[in-house]
Structure 1
Amino acid sequence: MGVPIASATWRLAGRVKELEAFRQVWGRQQCQVVVIAGPAGVGKSRLAEECLARLIADGWKGARATATKAAATVPLGAIAHLIPRGVDLSDPVDGFTRVADVLADRHRKHQRVVLIDDLHLLDGTSAVLIRQLLDAGVVRLLGTMRAGEALGEAVRALTVGGGAHRIDLVPFDEEQVQQVLQAALGLPIGRRTLHAVHTASGGNALYLRELVYGALAAGALTSDGELWEISEGSLHSTPKLTELISARLASAEPAAREVLEVLALCEPLSLADAAELAPSSMLIVLEDSGLIRVHQDRRRTILTLGHPLYGEWLRAKLSTLRRRQLLLAQSERTSAYGARRREDALHLAAWRLAATGTADPYLLIQAATLARHAHDNDMVVTLLQALPEEFHTFATRLQLAEALWEVGDPERAHIILRSSDSPAESEHERLTVMFMICMNRFLGANRADQALAAVDKARPRVHSDAGRRALDVTEGWIRSVSGELLKGSALLEQLEPEVEQAAEPTIWTMAAAIKTFVLAAVGRAEEGVVWSEHSYATHLRLDQEMLMPHPSAQFSSMIMALAEAGHLNRARAVGERAYTDMIAARQPFAIAYLAFYLGRLEYMAGHLPAARRWYAEALRLASEAHHAALQQLALSGLAATAATLGDLATAERAEADAAVSQKLGFLAGEERLGEAWLKVAQGNIRQAVEVIDQAVTNAHASGHIASEMLLLVDLARLGHAQRVASRLAALANQSQGTLALARARFVSALATNDPRELSVSSSELEAIGAYLLAAEAAAQAANVHHQRGDQRRATASTNESARLASHCGGARTPLLAAPEAVTKLTRREREISLLAAAGYPSKNIAENLHLSVRTVDNHLQHAYTKLGVTTRQELASTLGVKSKHKNWTENTTI
């Protein structure tokens, strides 16, 4: 997998724009100097080395030098090794001219480039010589320079003027960090890990590398073969990283140390508090040196540390008593101001709890309420677990149970909820406990029966009409996502259009999210999109009342509705944004579902590598949250994508795990996609069709129109378009959105084998963003043109299919397999040939298809003759099949 070692140089990644900018400016005739500038550790030297390597590959003669503080004390100290031997420099004017003459290539066969690292440290004499060589046209200069450093006059002269160009580097964003780490590690990293390492490193390339080395060395960064993930809270330093940060912080005066230590424990810090610790002149020095940052927050000026890792290093250096002293002192300062800001109660409780292990009970309760509002469930658990038992109330116990569920501890939450059920006095309290028990038992423990039992138990104690509707819609969303869509959707029809009419707002928000899914699942996707926008806006407004879960959880169902309506690109943008928000908000259940929906979206779009990553992410998150039912769907999706990408080993492992996993009934029929496409990849089309036929029956019986349409399209792709075209057309006519109609047109075109309709269908599907289906439609058009002898159109359609398939990451499907070869075979010949190409012996094929071995061999011989091949390896190559079985050899004919 390409795991790096500490001494390795990582392959340059994430700097495509900067490399292109360098190429453009260097190509200008008047260009003499290119300076790559940026803060320390941002990757200036690495980018410069890459630029130099590319120039040398293009025929330039390259030389390197590094300027240092030590070399700056000696004239020409940095570049002495570049001066030709025998040149007398006792007379600098004559000597410098002589250097230029010696270095000049009279025949102009090679141009010269000099790379000088840390150009800002170059001594003045070296700078003057370089300037003279530039003016003589002998060399060009490629340099790196730390941003913000003072420059000597001679060095500054190198970096200004029409022939000088500057490329400014900034720290990596998350997408660039993903590119860098995938290039280094060989596999993608999980989005939660990506967020963690980007936040910790601040996008600094040097810090990033050391954090990854530290995590690898500690065994905290591990791969499951699909993604790299780091254990939460397990970022580890390295000696080099510790040395770098130590040297950076050592530049602060001893008197400024207390400001940095308080920031490490209590940031952000107001300017007023910081001014009590150090004079303004010292704070200015800290800001100028980059050790602190100053921000304006409305009318407040606040300070934070210059980099997240500074806090880690400073906290590690604090003794217990020193930590206690600083925390209590900051508590006193905040209390002296009257703790008038809303967040002050949370800070005071957290600081005092960290300092002494205790805090005022009423302050703990107030702080827990604030933490709940911020969706900081770990903090809620910490604060309420510190609350003495005699101060706990019905409300605090529910808050603790809710937070435990959110952080993935459903069993402890259930214990608290069981004890809270009896004390519930009002109808509102009974509904709240009932809802939380349902969430905990259904989503936390995968027990729909226990969740429904909690609803039934509450019915005799709920008497208002609004309360009874709340019970019905709770039952409705549970049934809707556990295999009883028709019954559940009927109950959800009682959901009030506005939350103000509901008995319990939290029940409304959860039911509203599931209603979006239900509308999309029954073919009313456009209604689902409108409803999801309304429910999200309502949830966002009600978040002031601290509802669970996070408002971004509404986006999971919204993505499905957008996708089913044909708005694939919009769905992707919504999902990516929501995922980033939910990682920061630490919502494990909601994040797992969102990752799954994003995987399903990319699967529908045909972006199979992206789908595979999202399914793998959903699997990891669902596993950590102990959500077995979601694991099964993620495993099936992973198996389907891996199989279609030709990775049979991964597909077989995923499908084996999916087969023994608990099924939820959610998206009925789709849980068998992995099984079906694994059989396709193995060449067993007939069995794949049988699996999908059964899945279609299941989807139809449960009312999952969206799932039924997806599965019917797969049947058409496997050669049964004529059989399913009318059913799919009927479903499309009763469904909303462009995707349903585009799919129906695609299947109709496959059924009639009309090349014009296939081409039109391909264009429609591409416009929606369904690239794999679009590529298959173009490939089938090429097949028909080829059969009719129209080679010009066949070639055009083949090229169009290849262009569309380039978006799909190497997808292998029967419709994309060797168009000219496939069209020569009958359906039976094709079925037997695919099995044989996958490596199955004739005897096994005969048993599988209920034929005689002789019949199988006869069909194979006919296929060999038509395709002009003589061995099964040639057959596999011609059909584009990756064989798993190695029980045949190059000489095996039949």
Structure 2
Amino acid sequence: MLRSPRRTFIGRNTLIDELSAAGEADECRLVTGPPGIGRSMLLARVAALSRPKRAVHELVGTRGAASMPLGAFLPVVDRVETTFEAATRVRLTLLKSRPLVTVDDAHLLDEVSAGLLLELARGGVPLLVSVPEGAAVDEAIEAIEQHFSPPRTAIPPLTAAELARLVRETLGAVPDPTLVALVRRWSQGVPRYVVEIVDSLLHAHRIGFEAGHAFVLGSGPPEAGDSAALMTRRVSPGAVRLARLVGLAHTLPMTAVRGIATPAAVEEAEAAGLVEMQVDGEGAVLVAGHPWVARSVVAGLTGGSRLELVQTLVDAFPHSPRDPVLSARLVGWRHEIGRHVAVDELITAVSRVQAAAPAEADGLLDVAVERASGPNERLRVATLLAHRLRINEAELLLAELSETGLSAEPQRTLDLLRAFVLLFPANDPARAAELLQAHPGDDPLIHAQLTGALLQLGDISAAIRVGVGVLADDSAPALAQAHAAVALSAAYVQAGNVDAYDALRARRAQLLAEAADEFPEGPEAMVFIDESALLETRESLDAAHTLTRTSFERSLAREDEGMRAQHAHLLARIALERGAPCEALPLALGAAASDGLWARAFRAWTTATLIESLALIGRTEEAEQRRAEVAARRRAPLHDIDVARATAVVSAAGGDLTEAAERLTAAATQAVARGQLTRGRYALDQAVRYGSDAAARVLLRIRGVAANGPLTRSQMLAHAWLERDGTVLDAIAGDLALDQAVRYGSDAAARVLLRIRGVAANGPLTRSQMLAHAWLERDGTVLDAIAGDLAERGLLWRAVETAALAMRARGVAESETLARLRPRCPTLKSPVVPEDPPPVLTARETELAALAAAGRTDAEIAAETRLSIRTVQTHLSNAYHKLGIRSRAELALRLDEPSGLRTQQGT
């Protein structure tokens, strides 16, 4: 898919309106910004908007024009005369006609042109002048700013929404949030670099297209474009050399800079925006002025030039710097210039930076692969290869080692590494468990890995039993206990055991710190489990979103594709829970297409979320195709319940609610029997919303009580008394009183009843069982109250389906609860929720909404439709209200939906 050849101008709506209004009021404005920010296009857009109302003269400063007096005014001067005569005539003419005069790159004006501009400003001619950020200007331009204009207006970087629109128009497809976030990070919102980066990604075949969406493949930025020429053409060779040194080092302490660059070169490079000085814990450092320019200035280096710069950097550090990443780069530079580097030093450097700087780690690992000799070194290198997901290389090395007749200890290490590969990239926990169980005895590391294998097999009870045993072994090494703690935490989430999970957290953090070098992915894995706990066992969507979004941004910075995909996947799940499958879809698409250790480990779960997203926006054929693909692919049994749930959603979307509910009930019953209470409960909850009495009874039996109203309460009473649980007894007493109030018709009592948290320690399970009980009694009032409670928690997908279930229980066609909830999730097309007709817009509202979604400003729409700006704003406000949205970005998404809105004429 090719992008549009024209360069698109995106955003700046407020700024364009402000500058246009200033021109209409005969005022002057100076705008500034870094190279590539879009100053020229901004001036051109304002000029185009102003031209129907008044004359406009567009002038440009260039070095060539500045070589002659009045060079910038050549488009206005139409006869040969002296400079004084020409300046006088132009001044008088423009003062009389009062056009809008725009001047791009005013820092390049000759003195006469600058002086003439000052005279025009004095005479009340409106001026719109642009200069690059940090550029020196003539004193006449300074006088204009001082006396006739507010302080310079800095053009800001593109917002996330504006950048997404630019990427979208460049690619002709909707970019997933990961692609937008990466391009924003690499470009820092500068439009020129956005287009360069997208072009580079396309050229490198690193953008995938599917279902009208575009997503990024791989990690790390692409090869840089021609930004270096833009930034370096007006600086000295010394400043360019310094920029290249900083580009190679990324961070260069000033203590090292003093020996390799002159103060003048540092000052010049800073003024040009090539570098900037920052202060960190180690003191002052130089960093690149822009990350894309940093890559650009080193991208075209010849081999000899690069070696000379690398030699300079090596000589600048007689001792290893404290920064581990810079220290690792130094190891690589020493090898690059031919100095001896021991394999142990390479392995240590890779271990220290593989999480913080994956690119540097992989480069050093390449050298270690070539240089490693002997079983121990090769095993260590194979371990690093596996952790870096270079599985083919790791397996080749393991196969070679298997034929060398290893002694017992290296063989144990080899089998542990094979089990690791089988667990995650291969998704074959059965073979991993078989390999581990072949080692007799009480080896803690073997048992720690076995905990993970049992978890992936879905045997949660066994995983907890083995993992607890490792943590109870005081003689077990920190690495074994760290592995066990991570697997055990995940098992507790699966079991819904919040108390045990919380009790383990402090010890787990300590163990991960102790085993950091040997278990580098441990901390990120733990963050991911924390996010899952917030989402699945606590159902705290806001807290889960905050933590996951932070983790997602961190994985972008670390270029960790695997964890980036998993954080994106959890963001997709949160969007689904919030009833926004259109937001979930691009996140799930990108996550499902990603690579990396954790992306492969959870591919089945990620794809299940993608299938649900497709089904819930009405794209059932694509969902079915994905379902067939995931069914044919090997997966860990842990994710059988996720695939079964996605399959059921597809069946329900196809109209077969009975089959969907039966499938969910069967899979959930099996999952609960294996200890997967969290997702088993979730699937049963879904089956109840599909109207399954059988699922409701299974849900109520999870605590050993029957699906009989009074008997349920009696059995709960008996159980609480046998355990002497006063808290539960008090809750049951309150339950009985409130229950009577509900029967008297009190909605308030129903809501209070649903908020009781003392009946069971597991909040989500309690809520699901309340849903089951209310459905079996066909109690529409309680079901409505449950829907309201879910909506308050942000769980809108479940809320609207529960409200629909309440309607079914009452035997009515509509309800106030559903009518109130449905507009909050307009893109959700649940098979159990009656469709709401799309909002009806007037023909004028539809026309203006389409223009606004295409990026037009209010002023541009007014000019194009011959309406006043206030009328345009009124129509758009009405359209926003009808559609339940608040911004142009949301409007663009809504217009993408098939049959998302219609006019009064039905079009």
- The interval holding the TM-score normalised by the smaller chain is 0.7 to 0.9
Whether the 8 Å CA contact 1:779–1:819 is kept in 2: the answer is: no
User: Is 1:542–2:526 an aligned residue pair?
Assistant: no
Distance 1:33 1:777 in 2: 59
The SS at the match of 1:222 is strand
- CA deviation profile, 1:87-137 (whole Å, cap 9, x unmatched): x9959779756645545xxxxxxxx86554334445677667777777777
Q: Cα distance 1:512–1:379, how it changes in 2: closer, same or farther (>3 A)?
A: farther
Per-residue deviation, 1:642 = 0.6
Task: Choose which of 562, 573, 580 in structure 2 pairs with 1:607.
Answer: 580
Hey, what's the Cα distance between the residues in 2 that align with 1:53 and 1:665?
Answer: 62
Whichever residue aligns with residue 385 of structure 1, its letter is V
Q: Does residue 407 of structure 2 align to residue 409 of structure 1? A: no
Tell me the residue number matched to 1:818. Answer: 835
Aligned with 1:44 (options 30, 39, 48): 39
The residue type equivalent to 2:825 in the other structure is A
Which of 459, 465, 471 aligns to 1:484? It is: 459
When residues 549 and 161 of structure 1 are mapped into structure 2, their CA distance, relative to the original with a 3 A threshold, is: same
- What's the counterpart of residue 637 of structure 1? 609
Select 2:799's aligned residue among 774, 778, 783. Answer: 774
1:707 aligns to what?
679
Structure 2 residue 689 is the aligned partner of structure 1 residue 717: yes
Does the residue aligned with 1:65 lie in a helix, a strand or coil? strand
**Structure 2 counterpart SS, 1:206:** helix
Q: Secondary structure at the match of 1:159?
A: helix
Which of the numbers 551, 568, 581 marks the counterpart of 2:541?
568
What is the letter of the counterpart of residue 335 of structure 2?
A: L
The equivalent residue for 1:254 is 237
> For residue 489 of structure 1, what is the amino acid of its counterpart?
I
Q: 1:193 to 1:20 in 2, by over 3 A?
A: closer
Equivalent residue for 2:60, pick from 42, 64, 67 = 67
Q: Is the 8 A contact 2:106 2:130 kept in 1?
A: yes
How far apart in 2 are the matches of 1:685 and 1:11?
A: 48
Matched, 1:805 2:825: yes
- Contact 1:431–1:504, Cα closer than 8 Å, also in 2: no
- Identify the residue that residue 848 of structure 1 maps to in structure 2: none
Equivalent residue, structure 2, for 1:346: 328
Which of 296, 299, 302 aligns to 2:279? It is 296
* Partners of 2:252 and 2:285 within 8 A in 1: yes
Equivalent residue letter for 1:19:
N
Partners of 1:332 and 1:135 lie apart in 2 by 58
Deviation at 1:209, TM superposition (A): 0.6
- Secondary structure, in 3 states, of the residue corresponding to 2:36? coil
| Conserved? CA contact 2:274–2:290, under 8 Å | yes
Q: Which amino acid aligns with 2:37?
A: V
Do residues 696 (structure 1) and 696 (structure 2) align?
A: no
Distance 1:767 1:380, change over 3 A: farther
1:257 to 1:805, Cα distance in 2 relative to 1, 3 A: closer
1:437 matched to 2:418? The reply is yes
Q: 1: distance between equivalents of 2:285 and 2:221?
A: 29
Asked if the contact 1:201/1:211 (under 8 Å) is kept, the reply is yes
**Cα drift, residue 641 of structure 1:** 0.9
Change (3 A) 1:287 1:760: same
Asked whether the 8 Å contact 1:535–1:554 carries over to 2, the reply is no
The correspondence of residues 295-694 of structure 1 with structure 2, limited to 5 A, is 295-335=278-318, 337=319, 346-356=328-338, 359-361=341-343, 363-371=345-353, 374=356, 376=358, 377-389=361-373, 392=374, 394=376, 396-417=377-398, 419=401, 435-460=416-441, 462=442, 467-468=443-444, 470-496=445-471, 501=474, 503-525=476-498, 527-528=500-501, 530-531=502-503, 533-534=505-506, 537-538=509-510, 541-542=513-514, 544-564=516-536, 565-587=538-560, 589-622=562-595, 630-694=602-666
Alpha-carbon distance in structure 2 between the residues aligned to 1:575 and 1:656: 30
Cα 1:632/1:371, change in 2 over 3 Å: closer
CA distance, structure 2, for counterparts of residue 744 and residue 375 of structure 1 = 47
Shift of 1:160: 4.4
The alignment-based identity, stated in percent, is: 18
CA 1:659/1:64 → structure 2, altered by over 3 Å: closer, same or farther? farther
Normalised by the size of structure 2, how large is the TM-score? 0.74
By how many angstroms is 1:521 displaced?
A: 2.0
Q: How does 1:783-802 map to 2 (within 5 A)?
A: 787=812, 797=817, 800-802=820-822
Alignment map for 1:12-91 (pairs within 5 Å) = 12=10, 15=11, 19-20=13-14, 23=17, 32-47=27-42, 63=56, 65-69=58-62, 70-72=64-66, 78=72
Q: How many residues align?
A: 778
| Alpha-carbon distance in 2 for matches of 1:771, 1:763 | 9
Q: Which residue of 1 aligns with 2:216?
A: 229
Secondary structure of 1:182's counterpart equals helix
TM-score normalized with structure 1 length: 0.75
Q: Secondary structure at the match of 2:635?
A: coil
Mapped pair 1:764 → 2:764? no
Distance 1:296 1:620, change over 3 A: same
Displacement, 1:284?
2.0
User: Does structure 1 retain, via aligned residues, the 8 Å contact 2:562–2:597?
Assistant: yes
In the alignment, the residues of structure 1 paired with residue 813 and residue 151 of structure 2 have an alpha-carbon distance, to the nearest angstrom, of 59
Instruction: Label 1:687 to 1:299 Cα distance change in 2 as closer, same or farther (>3 A).
Output: closer
Measured in 1, the distance between the counterparts of 2:835 and 2:300 equals 64
SS in 2 for 1:501: coil
Work out whether residues 482 and 665 of structure 1, in 8 Å CA contact, stay in contact via their aligned partners in 2. Answer: yes
Q: Contact 2:565–2:594 (CA<8 Å) still a contact in 1?
A: yes
Q: Which runs of 5+ in 2 are unaligned?
A: 704-756, 839-896, 900-907
For 2:161 and 2:511, locate their aligned partners in 1 and report how far apart those are by CA, in whole Å: 29
Contact (CA 8 Å) 1:473, 1:494: kept in 2 or not?
Answer: no
For 1:351, the aligned partner's letter is W
Return the offset for 1:590. Answer: 4.4
SS of structure 1 residue aligned to 2:623? helix
Pick closer, same or farther for the CA change 1:597–1:220 going to 2, 3 Å.
closer
Structure 1 Cα separation of the partners of residues 684 and 50 of structure 2: 55
SS in 1 for 2:371: coil
